[in-house]
Amino acid sequence: MQLKSHGVSSSLVEKVTAEVHDFFDLPMEEREKFWQRPGEIEGFGQNFVVSKEQKLDWGYGFTMFSLPALLRKPHLFPKLPLPSALKMDPNDSKQFEDGVQSMRMNYYPSCQQQEHVIGFNPHTDGSALTILLQLNEMDGLQIKKDGMRVPVKTLPDTFIINVGENLEILTNGIYRSIVHRATVNSEKARLSFATFYSMKLDGEIGPAPSLITPETPALFKKISFVDYTKGFLSRKLQEKSNVDFMRIENEDSKSY
């Protein structure tokens, strides 16, 4: 899904674009001052190399957690019509009221050997919603649909909205998280800016109780969001590996 007429001014988008360009144009020794610390995902860095046979994630990122949503008072999730659309108890969506918001700047350098690298391996986001802004109109995002890799055409002044794992689990699979990947260009670098909206850290993640019936049994287990996040960060990102970990293996869910 791509979102236009979103109310974000072109001047703000241009300012964000300029700031991201300025950061990634800094000498490496300056960027390394913000390098990720061991065991943390915040800061400047790359994804881990776990095998000589893997395609390399050919890109850098700068990840930071912003203030909790309640402190910034965006009230995003309470205003979404999710409960009424799914006939869900509104209390089941309160996990988002104090949710976490984080941001990541992405830089994918050009590479002549595209067969050996990839911008970001196929994965789903460990968030409820991801809002992505492609900054230099350089295409490279691909989503998986019906087993095929579908390129996403960049539209000017438009946000790309991806459903993440939080929403798939909460809605018991009614909304599906989007498998996507980033490719690299042989001639030109690609820049993007992503904002992630997730559940609150001290809550639990699992299917909404009001959506569980004898006809629609729970497809996913319920665990603390902290444990879910730890698992997400410790497992290799590959397609829906984290969603599959949360899935309940039983006769009712095997067809899902």
**Domains of the chain as residue ranges with CATH:** 2-246 (2.60.120.330)
In which region does residue 207 sit, left (phi positive, over 0), alpha (psi from -120 to 50) or beta (all else)?
Answer: beta
User: Which residue positions in the chain have pLDDT lower than 50?
Assistant: 49-50, 69-80, 251-256
Asked whether the beta carbons of 197 and 99 are under 8 A apart, the reply is: yes
Give the three-state DSSP class for 13.
helix
Report the distance separating Cα 59 and Cα 184, nearest Å.
9
Secondary element (H or E) of residue 231 = helix 225-234
Q: Which pLDDT tens digit goes with each residue over 3-56?
A: 888 888 888 888 888 888 888 888 888 888 778 777 777 777 776 544 556 666
Report the distance separating Cα 103 and Cα 100, nearest Å.
10
Contacts of 132 (CB under 8 A, 6+ apart): 141, 159, 160, 161, 162, 192, 193, 194, 195
**What is the structure's pLDDT at 208?**
94
Q: How far is CA 6 from CA 127, 131, 158, 199, in A?
A: 20, 11, 8, 23
**What is the structure's pLDDT at 256?**
40
Report the distance separating Cα 59 and Cα 106, nearest Å.
7
**What is the structure's pLDDT at 54?**
60
Report the distance separating Cα 105 and Cα 24, nearest Å.
9
- What's the whole-number average pLDDT of the chain? 81
